[in-house]
Structure 1
């Protein structure tokens, strides 16, 4: 159980995906004891409760202080009000707007310390776009509404941790985002993120952009002209950072214990190694915010939505990480996850 007074907020995610189902499965599990409030739609969450066949009810509240953590009750702050259940697996604007509104509502609660952390269920980027929402994903929404201009995505499991220099953009655009300031920011946030997890002097590895980390300039000069200078500047601050290391071996070395965290240059370079080890064990942590945010390391899974077969292990892991981050923060980050 979390060592905090304020509950953890869980956003519903896209109502047509598996988010409501995995939330219902998690909160109604007999062994689950963490105090949480759901931000989302009452009708959708009631439908999820019925789907998992438990005799629980929705307790609709206006603020976390009104939560009643008695048995067989899910506390919910309504951020939308559907009049009929959305069709599962469907991409549409109403679903995107509902998912977005839940996130924004939860951010305001986190910014005012009414909740101790924010855990987000998966959203669908196409539904967001259809709703006229310009942000490509959670990270960008959190950065804007969380009033943070320097954020990064960290993916973590028990063996690997990685922070991304560039996130949701095309491979062509990655090259424009690989600059000195971006490297410095990612290294700094990797330092902060690893320390938040309890690493007192984190060993940071920076992956190269090009094959073989550029092979001394034969395969590109980004490592020589951009990445190496940023590493040296970070070393001057006292960070235990090294590289650039070839992207095809650096995660293997991290898993073997040589590094505590890896700075990856682009989305798939960093996420594939973590996800390959099991989506149920991976958690997305947003660095650079004034509050704690974690999420499962999977998407809306429209192909299985509504079938009652979604695995809620990754959401449980995300809540567990949020709880441990809260406790590490309260205890001076003396414990490693």
Structure 2
């Protein structure tokens, strides 16, 4: 973790662009709670891609003081590079001017989004915040981005031609197939398949697919600067099939892929039963796990610690981290949302962003 010691400058900390998420959702609330928590002070500097009016409303609704010696302010800045060390030590949330101006222009066209509701304006603004954070990252002004949640239905209402963050950022960066890895308490999990049916996921467990995925996973670990780049492949069937007793996928597809990968020098082991492989990786036996289908990895990580399970999107010119929860429109504006996941997403962006940016360019 890029913690600042007592002798270094706050300007040495990674600068992270944080999107405000859907302005009608809990996004603004968890952003202001994260930035006023004090937990990021020695780990990251943050510039918000969003709008000051929604951040100020979130501060007020969360009961965070806006005046007096303990009061917080929101300030729009044209260039984060102009902020000095003393600026970062003040109780100020900084918003990037380009994002603010672009969002206001959208509001003039489509109106303001009602809090707690799905709407076209909310979808448009959500997209603008992501687009502006992308521009900050591509210009090199920030090290990485961390995203608050957006609502797929609002995106659709706004005719945004993408269903979520990963697809939006893939389109903006021209990335064909971004790679997602989850991290929670040092446990890292990749996914061979994701949003397909369980039946289809089993059909996709093939030697060819595993041999294509493993090098990508190991390259990603290297880019993130993970010292232990070993990868354990989870079994698909109970007890990894017991030599065909409970299924033949391990015998016919998984083991042949692992053996061939090992012969070519890849640090990969398995298959290891899914009832133990995640625990073994958690205690340090392996650097990461390749989960074979969506729920196999999601259940393991989210049961361990739901709020601190963070998604990292790799394979793009910059690293993106994200909370792994939704917009919770039903509690928007009610001061009920936890900022734990947002805080953790920013911490991981600061932890991995510098190494990722440097090694991706190489």
Secondary structure class of the residue paired with 1:280 = coil
Measure, in 1, the Cα distance between the counterparts of 2:188 and 2:227: 15
2:74 to 58, 63, 79: 58
Displacement of 1:21: 0.6
TM-score (norm 1): 0.86
- Cα distance in 2 between the residues matched to 1:185 and 1:62: 43
For the structure 1 residues 32 and 156, does the alpha-carbon distance in structure 2 shift closer, same or farther, using more than 3 Å as the test? Answer: closer
Provide the residue aligned with 1:72 in structure 2: 91
Moved over 6 A (4+): none
Give the Å deviation of 1:36: 0.9
Q: CA deviation at 1:181?
A: 4.8
SS in 2 for 1:243: strand
Q: CA, structure 1 residues 276+66, in 2 after alignment: closer, same or farther (shift >3 Å)? A: same
Q: Is the counterpart of residue 135 in structure 1 residue 151 in structure 2?
A: no
How far off its partner does 1:280 sit? Answer: 2.6
Shift of 1:271: 1.3
Gaps of at least 5 residues in structure 2 are 5-9, 67-71
Is 1:39 the equivalent of 2:71? Answer: no
Query: CA–CA distance in 1 between the matches of 2:134 and 2:279?
Result: 36
Structure 2: distance between partners of 1:186 and 1:51: 45
Q: TM-score, normalised by structure 2?
A: 0.81
Aligned to 1:240: 267
Q: Secondary structure at the match of 1:216?
A: coil
Task: Calculate the aligned-residue CA RMSD, in Å.
Answer: 2.8
5+ unaligned residues in a row in structure 1: which ranges?
A: 333-337
SS in 1 for 2:330: coil
CA shift in 2, pair 1:237/1:125, >3 Å: farther
Query: Within the alignment, does 1:24 sit opposite 2:35 as a pair?
Result: no
Say if 1:160 and 1:30 are closer, same or farther in 2 by CA, change over 3 A: closer
Match of 1:317 in 2: 344
Give the alignment partner of residue 258 of structure 1, picking from 280, 285, 288. Answer: 285
Residue 129 of structure 2, aligned match among 89, 94, 102: 102
Give deviations 1:111-135, integer Å, cap 9, x for gaps: 2212111011112222223333343
Q: What SS is found at the alignment partner of 1:166? A: coil
